[in-house]
Structure formats: C-alpha cells, structure tokens
Structure 1
Amino acid sequence: MTQLKGSRPRGLRRWAIDLRPLAVPAYRRIWLGNGIAMFGMQFTAVAVPVEMYELTRDSLWVGLIGIAAFVPLLVFGLWGGAVADARDRRSVLLVTSVLLWLSTLGLLAQALLRVGSPVLLLALIAVQSIAFAISSPTRNAILPRLVPLELVPAASTLNFTTFTATAVFGPLAAGLIFATWQDPGVGLPIAYGVDALLFTVSLWATLRLPALPPEPDPDGDGTPRKAGLVSIVDGLRYLSTTPVLLLSFAIDLIAMVLAMPRALFPEIADERFGGGAAVGWLYSSIAIGAMVGGLTSGWIGRLHRQGLALVVAVVGWGLAVAAAGLAGQLWLMVVLLAVAGAADLVSAVLRQSMLLVYAPDRMRGRLQGVNTVVIAGGPRLGDLRAGAMAAGFGGGVAWISGGLLSAALAVLLAVAFPALLRYRAATASSGDRT
C-alpha cells in the first residue's frame, strides 16, 4: 500500500478538503471514473420518479420505487459483502458494473419505445439495485487497500463530496432537460442516454484497478473463504460484538426512513412551484449543502468525539428537513434542505470512517454489505413511508412529521444507549494491518 508522508499546512487550509489521497494513482483513477459515472446516474435518479409520476400521477407509485430498490438491496447487499471478502474485488466490480450499465440501457430503451409501464420501470430499478447491492460494499471495502490508513477519512470525504457535487449539478442539468423538452418522450430518453454514456468511464477506471484478492485470515487455516450463508452469519456475529457500529447504523436508519422527503419532490414541485425546473432544484438541494460541507470538511478528520458529533449531525438533519417542509418559497426550501445536506455529509463521513478504521480487512466487505443495506435501503424505505403518508395525509404532513420524529428518536436512542456518545476516534482496527 502506498505510503504518503508530510502534514497538511496550517491556517485556512486546515478547514479545506484534504486532497492528499489524489496523489495515489489507483485511487485517483477510480475517484475520477466514479465521479463522472455518478454525475450521469443523477439524470436517471431524477428521470425515474418523474416518469413514474407522469405515468400514474400518484406519489404512492413514486414511493414504490423505493421498495423495488430496497428488496434487492436487502437480499443481495449482505451477500454482496460476503462476495467482496471472498473474491478478487476488481473482478466483482467489473461484473456488477456491466450489469448496472445494461439496466440503464434498458431504461433508455423503454423510454424510446414509450412502453409506459410502471411495472417494467420497477423491474428495471430492481435489476439496478441488485448490481448496486453487490458493487457498493466492494467499492467501499477497497478504499483502505488503495490509500494509507491515516488517509481513509480524507478519501472517504473526497468520495462523499464528489458524490454530492454530482448530485447537485446532475439533477439541475436534468431539470433543465425537462424544462426544455417538456414532452416526456424526448426528455426521458435524453436523461437515460446521458447516464448510459457517462457510465462507460467508470468501466474504464475499474479495468485499470490492480488485482485485489482477499487477504488471508490470520486465524484461519488458509482455506479460501466462501461467499455463503456461513460467511454472512460470521460477519453479523462480528457486528453484534461492536455496539458502536450497531448504534451508528441504527441512528442513520432512523434518519433516512423517517426524514427522507425525496419521494415528495415531484408532488411538491408541481403543486407549490409549478413544476418544470423546480424538481431539479429540490433533488439538488440536499446535495448542495453536502457539497459545501465537504469542501469545508478539513475539521472532520480532527474530531475526537466522533460519536457525539454523529448524533448532533443526525438531529440537525431531522430538524432542517422539518423546517424545509414548512417553506412556501422555492429558494427557502432549497436553503433549508441544503442545511440538512451539510449535516448528512458530516454524519456519512463519520460513519464510514468509523467503520473502515474499526473493522479488519477480512470483515470490511461483509460490514460494508450491512452498511449498504442501511444507507441505500433506508432512503428507499423512506420513499415508501413518505409516499404512503402523503397519500393519506398530504405531502406537507408527511414531510414535516417525519423530520421531527427522526430528530426526537435519534436523541432518545443516544441517551438510552450511551456507547455511541462515549465513542472517541480510533486510530487502528482490531484486525490486521498492511
């Protein structure tokens, strides 16, 4: 593993994002490829709910997109983590990247042919979710193999910040597409086509990765690991012995299930702000705050009471989301959602850094599989919750009540189980190091 020396300059740069991981060629390539691909993915992330709402005029159907994505995540996320610990991680990424690309081409084809089937749309999202559920734990688990351990928080922050930057400009660009070509038969194929084209860069970056075979288990007999139920149970057993990680997963799940309002964006944009480019601003707003938070994130790596900071960030997320639901002006809603996004960036970086530093390499894939189920599955369950509540009580009630309840439950969980509040920054995992 590449070793980098030197300390960061003092002064204002102490608050700027740490760019040292980009000096590692393998990390730099995968960061660039993923960043370009993620920009394209934002077009699909906006186009799918827009298409679903156009077809059904019902936020409940938009919420069902979350279930179509969550079920494969739940089934394949844990198994994908076991695969990442048992197989060459580069090979796993290649196979799943091709599947992601093909599913995007499927979305493009159905839009060009104007099939108009909500069920087909859900099925294609489910295929995408299967590929994501396997690739995501693998992609996250390779990070400590590409950069020195002390740069893992910085590399995690770079990854999150890049993702949020693409989540800002991608939806805005998608909103411009739908504002310019209001005919869904034109705008939707353009959005899906951009995603399919840009994803090829991620394939190139994955091809350039070095081989990443699983590291030997220091307590094992040299027998290759198998990506089966026993391996998954072994990972869950390890997780059950680490209450800090369990609590970090639980508090994030609360925040995402109860306070994620994105399934309501098409409805709110249409009813309050007249549709058009407003939906792009809403989908970008959370990411705007996260991007700004990431660009000024130099202080996160110096936090020692990471558990307390995580709780504060999650409570801030819930309160900001609730306040945004009260806003009657688009600019105010965007600002408040941006505040929520900044809080989410802090919590995401802290959770990921805690997990990668705490866990040994032989367990990282499986724990990242659990992490994938939580961080990707939680918002999708949140989509269903928001859509179902909006169908019964209206979008405003679904939005505001979810934010307030998530903040209250996060506080109660932290007080009831203070291990997270007591957690201090760790410098090494309990496992082997390279």
Structure 2
Amino acid sequence: MELIEKIKAREARVGIIGLGYVGLPLVIEFCRAGFKVTGFDVDPNKVALLKAGKSYIKHIPEQTISQIFPNFSPSTDFSLLNQMDCILICVPTPLNKYREPDLTYVFKTSEAIGKELRRGQLIVLESTTYPGTTDEDMRVILEKSGLKAGEDFYLAYSPEREDPNNETHSTSTIPKVVGGFTSRCLKVTQALYDTIVVSTVPVSSTKVAEASKLLENIYRAVNIALVNELKMLFDRMGIDIWEVIESAKTKPFGFQPFYPGPGLGGHCIPIDPFYLTWKAREYDVTTKFIELAGEINTQMPYYVLQKTIEALGQHGITMQGAQILILGMAYKKNVDDLRESPSLKLMELFESKGAQVSYNDPYIPKVGKTRKYKIEKESVPLTAETLGSFDCVVIATDHSSYDAKQIVEHSKLIVDTRNLIKNDINVKGNVVRA
C-alpha cells in the first residue's frame, strides 16, 4: 500500500525517537489519532516509567499516559526502526563549550536509522538546527544504506513548536511548518501531520523550514535582549522597566511586550540563534545583531550577581559566607524544565563568590548533575522560618504558587529578577530589582 494511503487508513506505524518535551507530546497525539506508535529513547529509566504508565513531565499527567495504551510501545531497541513506516527525530541539539552546534545526537540517530532503513519509509527531523542539516548532513548519512532520498525513502524537516505548559496552545492546535527534500517528500509529510495538527504550513524546502524555526527564536532572543539592556539602563536612571513595559503595551498596534529576566532558559532561545551564527561563517557573513543579543542575554546572570553583591553590601554583608535562597530553578514559571535555566548559572556564580546557596522549587524537588553543572541539591521547604533564615532571597522564577506577601513579610532582603513583588506589596522596602 502507498504510504499516504497507509497514513490515511491509520495503518502506518509511527516511530518517535526522543521521548522528552517534544517527542512525548507527539506520541500522545498520534496515539489519539489512532496510530500504533513506538517511542524510542536511550534512557532506560524513561522507558520503564512509561511502560508503568507513569509520567516524568509535570504538565503531562499519568492519566494521559495510561490512556494511550495499547497503541503505544516505549522501547530502547532501535532495531525495531525497520518496522516503522514514519520515523520522527526529536533529539537534543545543544551547543558545545565553544558555543558551536553539537549535532552528535542527530547524527548518531541518523546512523541508527540508516542501519535499519528500508524502502518507502518517511524520515522527519524535528530538532532545531541550521539550514542544510536535513538534506545535506542527514541525507548523506542515511544514503550510506544504499537507498536514495526522494527515490527510495522520503526525507523532510518539520520544526517542533512546543511550549511546555502553555495553557492556550498545545501540540495539536499549533500550525506545523513542513519542508520536504522533494515535492513528493513534502506531500507525504503533510499527510502525516495533517492527522494530528490543526493545519500544516508547506514550504519549498527543508532549508526554508529549518530557517523558519531559527527566525522564530531569534526574534524572541533579540527582543528579550533589548528589554534586558533597557532594564540595566533604566535601573541607572531610576526608572522601573516593568512599569514602562506595562504602559507601552497599551498601544493596540506596532508593539509586542517582551519581559526581562535573569537570563535565558529553555532548549530553544539560548541556543538556536548560535546555530545560524555558526552557519553564517560558511558564507563569510557576521551576524552582528544576533551575536550582540546573545552577548547581552548571556551576561544577565552576572548582572544579577552584581546587584545581589551590592544589595548585601548595603546591609553590611559580604557575599563570602552569605546565606542565599534562590526561588525557582525551572527556566520559566509553572514548569519542571531545567534546560539551560539561568538559575543554574546563578547558583554557580553565587557559590564561586563563597556564598552558601539553597533553593526552593515546587516542581523540581532535586537537582542532579547536568551536562554543564555539577549541582546536587534538594529543594528546601518554603516557610516563614526558612525565608527568615537567609541573608538574601533571590527570585529567579515567578511560579504562581509563590506568595509575594509571605516572601516580603518574612525575608530580610529580596532580589527580584521577575517582578513578582509589585510596588504595592513592597511595604518593607526590602526588595531590590535586578
């Protein structure tokens, strides 16, 4: 049966590689649409939890996991890829220590697929990357099998647009950009995604689709850098950046609000712009605008460090030996996602200056070692006694569960990077904005 016909009949088997914040929501949607789905991951702990009907992502309840069986089969056995009709790649694309693209996961996954590749399969990359990854780098790896893209198998790129715990938009309600290596590849890919999303947005090539994803996140990174820079300027001028933004956003056209913070977090915005910056060098182009934005955003934790040092100094306390509590380890409010969280950098910076640092996060009970950091701590309870025992409380993530009044009442000193403490609550005058 032709693959498109198998897709329409829900007889195509779907394999999803990488069961994280992107892959697992896709698994759920394809299972709901009536497909048999195999989820692949190298982490046996994730696979074991899923087999037991448990979730390791806060905004995906266990009830949802249990509902997708028996359509769902989690596995660490990549030899099963040969049985799949459609294979979606949702693996990390981090930066190395030199802030250059690290496509190790994509290339190793492509090699694993290449060993099992057969005629008629569809291979789609969803991981964010630079233009050319799919139809140049990945294609070369896959064609080592002796099969040709566009002739023997279908190849495409469709960037993920996940926003964990977004209460307005979910995987199925967000339009999906799709680009194929050939027009036939595009048609098959559209047919697949049309079964789970509100609409697909076809583009002329995989490179356009790859560039589209980069533009989305560079747009955000540049605008966040702008308000971060203005925050530092307005602080010197005695102007509240948050009040400025609130007043500016009343304009019904020509303005979209972005908000400053202690740095950038998540897997996309701190990383994606540098993928294009790196690729641009191949064309003798310097992406000055992107690099400047990256420089500003990367420096924000250092700005928070300096503001904290100054705030402690005004109370006669040095950073050496100071007791600091960080509120929020997740990169944004109401999620359990630690990826690239600026709180990790803040903790490292505070400790490098001799401070004793603890944290509280209702969604992250324990922080283990990551690729960058060697932090191993557990969340402390957030009580009046706990707040009062620290020299300084640094608000790094504005979780909705945090009671601003309680924090103000019981803390000696607060450094607020998220505008959690509004002016009418700051009755004790113990809040410093950073």
Check whether TM > 0.5.
no
TM-score class, shorter: under 0.3
Larger Rg: 2
> TM-score w.r.t. structure 1 length?
0.24
> TM-score w.r.t. structure 2 length?
0.24
Compare the two structures and name the one with the higher helix fraction: 1
Compare the two structures and name the one with the higher strand fraction: 2
Higher relative contact order (CA 8 A, sep 6+): 1
